Structure 1
């Protein structure tokens, strides 16, 4: 019938299922072999480094005795620069090895030595053996700048020479081993492992294909290749560790420096706040007296005009306002908001004998010398002088117990000189975390202080526009000296040693 298909062909067969994807066994095996080769090289290098280090420790006494015999004197102590001939030559050699011309000279010398070693064995150096010898050694001239191309050329020429049956030379062998060492020192660990595997495979091919290395046991050749690369990897590890430790030490030093600066700044702020609290009492007393006298003046003076009474009232009101503003200023300067100004009167120089008696009662020895015409000075100057002497005596008891202390006060027309000196102590101690100096303490001048007590003394002197210095005396002991100007309107002087 028309319109009806009579095609007897069978229906199309279904598409076959895609084959299963192959497993990633091959790449995984290669990856594990790569890692394993790196670990093997690292292990060999660390083992050889441990052996060499142990041998060096065992031979160290012998080396010192040999050094003493060669130099004609005792072996130099560790960390001391030697001046004998042999150590000088050793130091000179270290400088030459680090210079830019070391690689060209040694590479050229190695090539010349290879040709000299080959000369008795061939009729002419202009031969295939001579070309392989030069190609295995001369490229080492540029090993520092282009290590990988140089290593490919030198090692390829060395392997080609062995595979073509050329004579094995000691010079070219040393050059090849040094090239493997240099590569192991520069390449990452896994790359060094693959290099070791490739070098070992090359050695095996040479043994199987030629008789060039028949005189060398194959375990010795394999160990030499692995040892060269392993020592290079161990050296790279040691250098990386040293750089990491140096960087960590530098970061620690910077952190400690910043921390010390912050602590010093905080100490200065605390001392300034303490001085402000003391001066608050002094100035508050004076301003209170002004306010009281201004308020009582209209009642004690007869015949005052209304304008005068209003003037005294304005003076009293201004004094009261000044007291309020001083309290606000003090609250801003305080390092500790909970600390309150002392209620006791601030000491003056008339209480200095009591301070000296307290020092004697604590087991110290002290004497006082006064030069010039003793007179009453401003409360701020006398308070600063008293506190400086007090801090100096405290430091003497702490760092030089039992030492004789001399306190000198010099009343000059324009300033008051304060000098406190002690004779030092036999026991050398540390001051504020720093090693003790010749007099058991460290020197402080100008803005930098080494402790809270010295910082406070410096702040008191500079507050008055004076000078302050503290440090070891030339005749021994420790000296604290301060010049306190009596003219408070003068320009503050810079801190400088006396």
Structure 2
């Protein structure tokens, strides 16, 4: 007996699997046919989609955009040229405006009056009053949703309990309110709302005839569906908000990490440059200490030993500095600089280089000039150099004015560029490319190293200002 049952179940399973393969084969055949038709119709589909949606992702060559940092031209987001994107954009603006709720609420009320008239009811009758009470409050649903919901649901329930025929507009208004309430209420409150609504519907079916023409499963599905959709929309909105918040936190952390890396790179670069300056000074100390016994014959043996110790210490310091520089230059991408570190006497060459690249630039020096340390002159030179590089990169062609102001205790450096000429900053209608560099961070680090002050930002005339104050005592 058990063998017959096993044989029968095996045959049934075999038939089941065979039928599944037949269905899969028929379905796969249909998929191949549809795929072939899709390939044949793709050119026509592309033409239709291009006519409906227009060219995608093409910036408008006539769009002038606005100025960003250093006068950078930022083009606006390209507008889609097809009728469908324009219609969607208009609809989004309409739904986001304050007139959306009043207009749709009034249209719903007018539809309710039309439905009452189609049912051969007087517009001043009780059914018309219930219909207006259930639809007109929808005008203020965005401002005071809960009072509006109380009026709409009460009017709908009263109409059904009094034996009035169910109107499509009244049903739509009630379901709409339930959907909106479920979007705002917590899940427990939304569940309580669903139970209360279903209880009222049960009372209507038992005590009145307003829903006799509608099957009760359809009403239950409609109510539960409206509340469920609203709750799902609330959940999606909360999830999207949490995702946006998490993305914002991640971007903030990433930006902080990138900024920290940029600061470390700039500090390493500054240290490499200062090594050359300090190494030159220490080398001079070592040379002078070694040559002193030969140039001054009256030195005592103790003084000669002192000079020898100074020379030995200086040489040891140079060795340690070279080791430190090797650590800073451990990055293989870093190139060794073989030219002397620049000072302020080479600013005119820097200005000439900027002019040679197509930029208008001027240099003015005010105040009584003071002898400055090599470190301060190098920092001032690099700040001007980086500022001019940023102007060429972000606002090519913009006039630049470089100012050096010698004050009693500090050197003030200012680089100002005017707004760029639109005709010179645009190439084939596209803005100049933006840079992802960290020049401002490097300039700030140089000023901070000397105990000075640095600031950069938009100028009142629409250009950009870079200012640094470098104390002499640093």
TM-score range, shorter chain: 0.5 to 0.7
After superposition, the C-alpha distances for 1:144-181 in whole angstroms (9 at most, x for unaligned) are: 8556567556635644663x5x3223xxx5xxxxxxxx
1:458 and 2:444 matched: yes
Q: SS at 1:296's partner residue?
A: helix
Deviation at 1:86, TM superposition (A): 4.6
Structure 1 residues 105 and 410: alpha-carbon distance in aligned structure 2, compared to 1, 3 A threshold: same
Query: 1:398-413, aligned counterparts within 5 Å?
Result: 398-413=393-408
> Which of 463, 466, 470 in structure 2 is aligned with 1:480?
466
> What is aligned with 1:93?
141
Greater Cα offset, 340-349 or 289-298: 340-349
> What is aligned with 1:344?
339
RMSD over aligned Cα, in angstroms? 4.5
Query: 1:201-240, aligned counterparts within 5 Å?
Result: 212-213=212-213, 216=214, 223-240=218-235
Query: 1:340-489, aligned counterparts within 5 Å?
Result: 341-427=336-422, 451-488=437-474
Deviation at 1:82, TM superposition (A): 4.4
The question of whether the paired residues in 2 share the 8 Å contact of 1:281 and 1:341 is answered with no
The question of whether the paired residues in 2 share the 8 Å contact of 1:384 and 1:460 is answered with yes
> Which of 158, 164, 168 in structure 1 is aligned with 2:209?
168
Q: SS at 1:475's partner residue?
A: coil
The question of whether the paired residues in 1 share the 8 Å contact of 2:290 and 2:307 is answered with yes
> What is aligned with 1:196?
none
Pick 1 or 2: higher relative contact order, CA cutoff 8 A, min separation 6.
Answer: 2
Q: Unaligned regions of 5+ residues in structure 1, if any?
A: 1-16, 24-56, 65-74, 120-139, 174-211, 431-435, 443-449, 489-498
> What is aligned with 1:44?
none
The question of whether the paired residues in 2 share the 8 Å contact of 1:272 and 1:333 is answered with no
Q: Unaligned regions of 5+ residues in structure 2, if any?
A: 10-82, 106-136, 165-180, 426-430
For the pair shown, which has the larger CA radius of gyration, 1 or 2? 1
> What is aligned with 2:198?
155
> What is aligned with 1:330?
325
Q: Distance in 2 between matches of 1:339 and 1:147?
A: 63
> Which of 247, 257, 264 in structure 2 is aligned with 1:269?
264
Deviation at 1:306, TM superposition (A): 1.2
1:288 and 2:274 matched: no
Q: SS at 1:294's partner residue?
A: helix
Deviation at 1:245, TM superposition (A): 3.5
The question of whether the paired residues in 2 share the 8 Å contact of 1:441 and 1:471 is answered with no
Q: Distance in 2 between matches of 1:284 and 1:253?
A: 46
The question of whether the paired residues in 2 share the 8 Å contact of 1:470 and 1:478 is answered with yes
Q: Distance in 2 between matches of 1:397 and 1:81?
A: 43
Q: Distance in 2 between matches of 1:85 and 1:146?
A: 25
Q: SS at 1:483's partner residue?
A: strand
Structure 1 residues 78 and 456: alpha-carbon distance in aligned structure 2, compared to 1, 3 A threshold: farther
TM-score under structure 2 length normalisation: 0.60
TM-score under structure 1 length normalisation: 0.58
Deviation at 1:287, TM superposition (A): 0.4
